Amino acid sequence: MGISGSIDPIARKYADIFVAKFSEIDANGWQKPWICARPDIVPQNISGRPYKNGNALFLMLAASVKQYRYPLYMTYNQAKNFGANVRKGETSYPIVYYAESVCDADTGHKTDITPEEYRLMDKEEKQQYKLKCQMIKNNVFNLDQTDIAETRPDIIRKLDKKYCSPEVKAIRETEVQKIDKMLEEQTWLCRIKLTEGDSAYYSISKDFIEVPLKTRFPDQRYFYGTLYHEMAHSTGAPGRLDRDLVGGFGSKLYAGEELVAELSSAIMSCITGLDSTIKEENLQYLKNWSEVITDDPKIIFSAVAKASAAANMICRELKIEQTQGIDMVDLLESANVGDNLDNTLSDVTMAQKSSYEDLSHGIQMHR
């Protein structure tokens, strides 16, 4: 399957959602979080498996733009299995996965060698094989795009009870506490300086972060959003993720890095259950990027890929758990939903499904 041709329509769908959200931004009076649809619940499939990174960010934005009640998604067939129908005129959201396989270099036939085993081979041994990556797309609809409220009010009552559970927020609060512990023990990749001032920045030359004290923020969620933004910048340093951080203020490189940091902050806010806020000085940058993304939708794929990689590094370094889904076992007893992926993934193991959902993984392999 040709990656470029397959990505074009998906990129357009992604771009439309991002541009719709950016169009809400008023540089002269933006106050509210830019992702605010149930930030305490990471988007998940009806069977209970949460989406990750780029997929999660995209679906969070979609839920925010469309004002969906729950960040809960299902395939067309899953809706049918619940006895519900996707409403006429509704369009699906593409979820992208990347499946790797190791093939014989001469025959092109798939081997039993895993991608992990291939990466451990020496250069000479690798020449016998080729690592192939296939993009797999799955289309999902939000719960609010179906008539399930009318056909299965019992399901809605159960969902209301689940989504109001205090256990959900308790899990996310534990992850935020890891950020506080990191600050207290100064265990991040570079020094983080908390000050009485009002400046927040990452110094490339000196490799340190400065942010105001938490007490300087009217809402502590804004503190974490700002901190995530600067931590994302620091992941791009040489020897880490090696992004180009030398662009001067106002340049395209600078604006691109700010977009990556904002998206990474949004992903981290999503993971830790916080509203995602935008740094005030970046409001106009994001509005300007909406024009660029409209002209070339694949730009958003690159930005989301880099942001996902930055968020992954933050989670890995701080041992922050990628969110567990809300248990949907009792709902599944009411319908034959089956696995949360269509038959297009039938030849992929459950462990692979989890790893392939990271949008950045496949994107970076084909750049």
* Tens digit of each residue's pLDDT (9 = 90 or more) over 180-201: 999 999 999 999 999 998 889 9
Question: Band of the pLDDT at 18, cuts 50, 70, 90?
Answer: confident
Burial 147-164 (b: 16+ CB within 10 A, else e): ebeeebeebbeebeebbe
pLDDT at 263: 87
Q: What is the mean pLDDT of residues 298-321?
A: 88
Model confidence at 337: pLDDT above 50: yes
Q: Which of 267, 263, 265, 261 is nearest to 237 (CA)?
A: 261
Any idea which of 130-134, 154-158, 289-293, 317-321 has the lowest mean pLDDT? 289-293
Rounded Cα gap, residues 316 and 319, in angstroms: 5
Rounded Cα gap, residues 340 and 328, in angstroms: 12
The per-residue pLDDT for range 172-182, each reduced to its tens digit, is 667 788 999 99
Give the burial class of 330: count Cβ atoms within 10 A of its Cβ; 0-12 exposed, 13-18 middle, 19 or more buried: exposed
pLDDT at 350: 35
For residue 46, what is the DSSP state? Answer: T
Higher pLDDT, 310 or 305: 310
Q: What is the mean pLDDT of residues 263-277?
A: 78
pLDDT at 341: 40
The per-residue pLDDT for range 47-74, each reduced to its tens digit, is 778 888 788 888 888 887 888 888 889 9
Question: Band of the pLDDT at 21, cuts 50, 70, 90?
Answer: confident
Q: What is the mean pLDDT of residues 331-342?
A: 55
pLDDT at 167: 54
pLDDT at 201: 93
Model confidence at 205: pLDDT above 80: yes
Percent of the chain with pLDDT over 90: 29
Question: Band of the pLDDT at 278, cuts 50, 70, 90?
Answer: low
Rounded Cα gap, residues 132 and 137, in angstroms: 16
Question: Band of the pLDDT at 164, cuts 50, 70, 90?
Answer: low
Is residue 270 within 8 A of residue 230, CB to CB? The reply is no
Structural domain count, the chain: 1
Helix (H, G, I), strand (E, B) or coil at 343: helix
Name, in order, each residue with C-beta under 8 angstroms of 219's C-beta and a sequence gap of 6 or more.
none
The per-residue pLDDT for range 75-101, each reduced to its tens digit, is 999 888 888 899 999 999 998 877 788
Q: Which two tokens stand for residue 313?
A: 């590094």
Higher pLDDT, 225 or 331: 225
Question: Band of the pLDDT at 147, cuts 50, 70, 90?
Answer: very high
Any idea which of 36-50, 55-69, 110-124 has the lowest mean pLDDT? 36-50
Domain that holds residue 183: 3-365
pLDDT at 4: 39
Q: What angle do CA 4, 7, 10 make, to 5 degrees?
A: 165
**What mean pLDDT value characterizes the chain?**
78
Q: What is the mean pLDDT of residues 233-242?
A: 94
